[in-house]
Chain A
Amino acid sequence: MSNLDPQNRLVEWFRRWRTPLRRFLASRNAVRPADFDDVAQEVFLRLLRYDAAQIVEHPQAYLFKMASNVAAEWSIRSSNRLLHEPHWLASLAAEDSPEQALDSEAAQREILRALNTLSPRERAILKLYFEEGLSQAEIAIRLNVSFRIVRRDFEKSYGKLRRELNDELIRALQYGHE
């Protein structure tokens, strides 16, 4: 992220939503999971203040951009309040390497554990998508099931992982300490 100048970055997040998403995910490290709903609440209020027509152009880009801004402001506020919070110190240390964080072995293990709570078919679908890069239509043919089932299992598995993945664990691991 830091290798783009602000001008280019601005153009980038308007054109695509991936960059804002990355920013959001990186800044999210500074938000405690317990505070996450409050951050979302603030993002929601900002979404309401914006002109809907403008958001409609690039809804995801706006969403992630706002979320990363709010998360950043939130972390500043909470670090003023709680200077001795370990996560604040950790976020300082980790600031330049948010990308590496998830590579840590333990975070990988947590994701593996969560994946193993899914049904075999849900696991197969995610594996074919993320490892082999197949589309959902191709996965349907490969598994000899309807496209609808693939789509539904895909969505269901995200819902399950959303509940299963230990936010605190993954987040702590992102700072690289066990």
Chain B
Amino acid sequence: MDTNDRRARATHEATQWWNRLSIQKPTEVSQSERELFTEWLRESPLHVAEFLRVAHVHDSLERFKLWNEVEVGGAEAPDNIVHLCDVDERAPEESNVDREARSRVRTWAIAASSCLIAILGAWFALSLRGDVLESKLAERRQVMLEDGTVVQLEPETRLRVKFEDKLRRVELEHGRALFRVAKNPQRPFLVSADQTSVRAVGTAFGVESGARGVVVTVAEGKVAVTDSPKAQADGAEIYLTAGQQVTVQDSGAVAPVRVVDTTRALAWAQGQLVFENDTLADVIQEFNRYNRVQLSIDDAQLAARKVSGVFEATDSETLLAFIRESGAEISITRTDAGIVIGTHAR
């Protein structure tokens, strides 16, 4: 998805390595630095490519002869303007801590990118006028809207963003998304799904539109839910605060407000799937949203089996192991198209 982001990051890291290995005391590079550098090179062909390209930049500069034609006006004057500029530029730079954390994280980041899902960290600044945001099978993305609100789209989710002067409107057509709404009391944030709408000022909440109807779960702050445009007109709103959840069924019936454990109820926002007495067929359908390798069951009895548990959305192997350990006599057949779970004797 974000090839350019990855390339830009590789370039950035390559310039840092180049600076460390070739510019700053290049004769005093320690064993551990060389180990880290070797590790970095062996992480990705992109790293190799960018380091070699940076080497080329350096070589071009070494052979450049027209330095006297390079204008440096103003750079040497330590006046206020330059000083302010320093402060400004410092802001977006990550702290050393961040950088260290990132290099620690890098190992699993690479692992994650080698999984077939392209997730995380794609922050698109979009100017949106009725724009459609969509995620595909096995894709999760985060999008920052023009007001600073962050929308996290789970796989196979589609929503439409319509921002007006006095109102920020999002229509969730299907799927589920977590909203971290930027505060603006003058401009309420309204999410609608089917007939249900959720109004928020500044808060974080999840909306799921699927077979169970529309489920709204609030992680922070407060939202107002209406189950129909009429109810909205009448001001018949249901208020939800942090830790509460409401389900509006397709029939229009509103289940009572429940107090939920939001870490569990919004576990999907963390890449986890939680099941409670769901059929294996449903579980597999849910997994298939998050993974390119598609699971299927060729046995009706097995499909009806109930499953409870918490799983990493992208780790279907754990699910398979779980089913096997739960005592089911299953066979697993791997094909190009996916994995078939059956009851045939092996």
User: Which A residues are closer than 8 A to B by beta carbons?
Assistant: 21, 24-25, 28, 36-37, 40-41, 43-45, 47-48, 52, 55-57, 59-60, 63-64, 67, 102-103, 108-109, 111-112, 115-116, 119-121, 123-127, 129-131, 136, 142-146, 149, 151-152, 154-156, 158-159, 161-163, 165, 170
User: Which B residues are closer than 8 A to A by beta carbons?
Assistant: 8, 11-12, 15-16, 18-19, 21-24, 31, 34-35, 37-39, 41-42, 44-76, 78, 82, 85-86, 89-90, 93
B21 touches which one: A40, A60, A152, A156 (CB < 8 A)? A60
* Residues in B whose Cβ lies below 8 Å from that of A24: 52, 55
* Residues in A whose Cβ lies below 8 Å from that of B49: 36-37, 40-41
* Measured CA separation A108–B65 after assembly (Å): 7
Interface contact B70-A151, CB-CB below 8 Å: no
Chain B contact residues: helix, strand, loop or mixed: helix
* Residues in B whose Cβ lies below 8 Å from that of A40: 45-46, 48-49, 52
* Measured CA separation A74–B54 after assembly (Å): 21
- A sample of 6 inter-chain contacts (CB < 8 A) reads A44-B48, A45-B45, A47-B41, A56-B31, A59-B37, A116-B71
Interface contact B42-A158, CB-CB below 8 Å: no
A43 touches which one: B12, B35, B48, B60 (CB < 8 A)? B48
Measured between C-beta atoms, what is the minimum distance from A15 to chain B in Å? 12
* Residues in B whose Cβ lies below 8 Å from that of A152: 93
Measured between C-beta atoms, what is the minimum distance from B102 to chain A in Å? 15
Interface contact B11-A44, CB-CB below 8 Å: no
Question: What are the nearest 4 A-B pairs in CB distance?
Answer: A40-B49, A124-B75, A44-B45, A144-B78
Interface contact A162-B57, CB-CB below 8 Å: yes
Measured between C-beta atoms, what is the minimum distance from A104 to chain B in Å? 11
Across the two chains, which residue of chain A brings its CB closest to B82? A121
- Given the interface contacts A37-B49, A40-B52, A124-B75, does A155 sit within 8 Å of B12 by beta carbon? yes
Chain A contact residues: helix, strand, loop or mixed: helix
Interface contact A103-B70, CB-CB below 8 Å: no
- Given the interface contacts A120-B75, A124-B76, does A37 sit within 8 Å of B11 by beta carbon? no
* Residues in A whose Cβ lies below 8 Å from that of B74: 120
Interface contact A142-B70, CB-CB below 8 Å: no
Among A40, A131, A158, chain B packs the most CB atoms within 10 A around the CB of: A158
B54 touches which one: A25, A125, A158 (CB < 8 A)? A158
* Residues in A whose Cβ lies below 8 Å from that of B51: 63
B56 touches which one: A25, A47, A120, A123 (CB < 8 A)? A25
* Measured CA separation A58–B74 after assembly (Å): 41
* Residues in B whose Cβ lies below 8 Å from that of A43: 45, 48, 52
* Residues in B whose Cβ lies below 8 Å from that of A151: 19, 24
Measured between C-beta atoms, what is the minimum distance from A131 to chain B in Å? 4
* Measured CA separation A146–B83 after assembly (Å): 11
* Measured CA separation A119–B70 after assembly (Å): 11
* Measured CA separation A170–B61 after assembly (Å): 12
Across the two chains, which residue of chain B brings its CB closest to A129? B23
Across the two chains, which residue of chain A brings its CB closest to B51? A63
Interface contact B64-A130, CB-CB below 8 Å: yes
* Measured CA separation A64–B54 after assembly (Å): 12
Among A36, A59, A146, chain B packs the most CB atoms within 10 A around the CB of: A59
Interface contact A136-B24, CB-CB below 8 Å: yes
Interface contact A59-B57, CB-CB below 8 Å: no
* Measured CA separation A149–B78 after assembly (Å): 13
* Measured CA separation A113–B55 after assembly (Å): 19
* Residues in B whose Cβ lies below 8 Å from that of A170: 60
* Measured CA separation A103–B90 after assembly (Å): 37
* Residues in A whose Cβ lies below 8 Å from that of B76: 124, 142-144
